[in-house]
Amino acid sequence: MRIMTVCLGNICRSPAAESVLVHRLERAGLDDVTVSSAGTGDYHLGRPPHEHSVAEGEGRGYAFTSRAAQFAAEHFAEADLILAMDSSNEADILALAQRPEDEAKVVRLGAFASDAADEVRDIPDPWGLPRDAYVRMYDQIEDAVDGLVEAIENGTVEEVLAAQRALR
């Protein structure tokens, strides 16, 4: 399985989600899953993740290797699952979809959160906010990633995707 995490600028949320997911997949022994990240905007192309995102992530034991890239229609062919951080990112990604199969790959990461039965929450963009916004961001990402890893292990990822497609 190939997973891509996507936010706006690819320096805060999506590289954090990528790092958490890589760590949790390794811990679960799921070595047949690859993870990458991108942003819907071109604001920070080639830059490393935001310093607060890195500091909080490294404090939690995560490593960062990616540089900001922009999501493009070609990425649909490179990913089996595309995880948007919020509804705006999701809409931007879906606008680039050229086929129903492309749209079917897109879901918000929050769909895998422990409280997703109530509603799918966006992971708010912490850019420009104090460091505690990054703490909250990681708390949300870790919860949702744990649900995603469980869904991969249980073979229920497609069920989550189908449920979210039904809500569109």
Which residues are marked as active site? 7, 13, 125
The one-letter amino acid at 155 = G
Convert 63-93 to b/e letters by CB count within 10 Å (16 or more is b). ebebebbbbeeebbeebebbbbbbeebbebb
How far is Cα 13 from Cα 37, in angstroms, rounded to an integer? Answer: 9
How far is Cα 36 from Cα 89, in angstroms, rounded to an integer? Answer: 16
How far CA 43 is from CA of 9, 37, 68, 130, in Å, comes to 6, 15, 9, 20
Kindly provide the residue ranges of all beta strands, DSSP E only, lying in 11-153, ordered along the sequence: 34-39, 81-84, 106-108
Q: Pull the structure tokens for residue 53.
A: 């995102």
